[in-house]
Amino acid sequence: MSAVPTRPLPLGPVMLDVAGFELDAEERERLLHPAVGGVILFGRNYANPDQVTRLATDIHALRSPALLVAVDHEGGRVQRFRDGFTRLPPMRELGRLYDRSPDAACALANDVGSVLAHELRACGVDFSFAPVLDLDYGRSGVIGDRSFHADPTAVADLAAALVTGLQEGGMPAVGKHFPGHGYAEADSHTAMPIDERSYEEIEARDLVPFRRLVAAGLRGIMPAHVLYPKVDEQPAGYSKFWLQTVLRERLEFDGTIFSDDLSMVGAHGAGTIVDRAWLALDAGCDMVLVCNDPTAAATLLEGIARLSTPAGLARLAALHGAPRPAGLAALRAHPIYTAALEAVVRRPSVV
Rounded Cα–Cα distance for residues 324 and 332 (Å)? 12
Question: How distant, in Å, are the alpha carbons of 81, 160, 173, 297, 333 from that of 339?
Answer: 21, 19, 21, 42, 11
Residue of 231, 230, 238, 302 whose CA lies nearest to 266: 238
Catalytic residue among 151, 187, 189, 268: 189
For the four alpha carbons of 73, 79, 80 and 81, in that order, the dihedral sign comes to: positive
Rounded Cα–Cα distance for residues 38 and 259 (Å)? 13
Please answer whether residues 146 and 300 qualify as being in contact, where contact means their C-beta atoms are separated by less than 8 angstroms. Answer: no
Single-letter amino acid code for the residue at 88: L
Q: What 3-state DSSP class applies to 154? A: helix
Identify whether 189 is a catalytic site residue. yes
Catalytic residue among 17, 72, 136, 260: 260
Identify whether 60 is a catalytic site residue. no
The residues assigned a catalytic role are: 189, 260
